[in-house]
Amino acid sequence: MRVVVCVKQIPDPASPYELDPATHFLERPTDQILDDTDRYGVEMGLQLAEPTDGDVTLVSMGPAGNLQGIRQALAMGADQAIVIDDPTLRGADSLTTARALSAAIARTGFDVVIAGTESTDGYSGIVPQ
């Protein structure tokens, strides 16, 4: 079974961060963590893939930074990761994000896609639908 799990790296909520005064965009630190809720998705993907000797692919969009969050999910047992890090997508709305993730997922091939309802730094609840 080929399982795709949508994951997101977010700034550590315990660390301070600021908005860029010129652009009003969040200044994302290089060190980012895996969104807490996405850990459950990764674990579920691993449980689904294991009995069939399947694989788990992570798909994420946003600034790659040092990939700390993605490396964490790979350490849990995921097989590979696709990270969409394109400066032209900075500030993308939920629909644009969904389209970019969907295009990447379609290229990988899959049997099932796991996505949380929202990230702890966004709360739109739109992307998975």
Quick one: pLDDT at residue 118?
Answer: 66
Quick one: pLDDT at residue 122?
Answer: 62
Cα–Cα nearest to 11, from 32, 26, 25: 32
| Structure tokens that stand for 101 in this block | 């993730």
Quick one: pLDDT at residue 81?
Answer: 98
Percent helix, strand and coil across the chain, each rounded to 5? 35, 20, 45
Quick one: pLDDT at residue 17?
Answer: 74
Burial grade of 76 (CB within 10 A; 0-12, 13-18, 19 or more) = middle
| Structure tokens that stand for 119 in this block | 């990230």
Residues of the chain falling short of pLDDT 70: 118-126, 128-129
Report the predicted TM-score, pTM, of the whole model to 2 decimal places. 0.88
Quick one: pLDDT at residue 26?
Answer: 77
Cα–Cα distances in Å, from 122 out to 3, 25, 97, 108?
24, 13, 12, 26
Quick one: pLDDT at residue 23?
Answer: 83
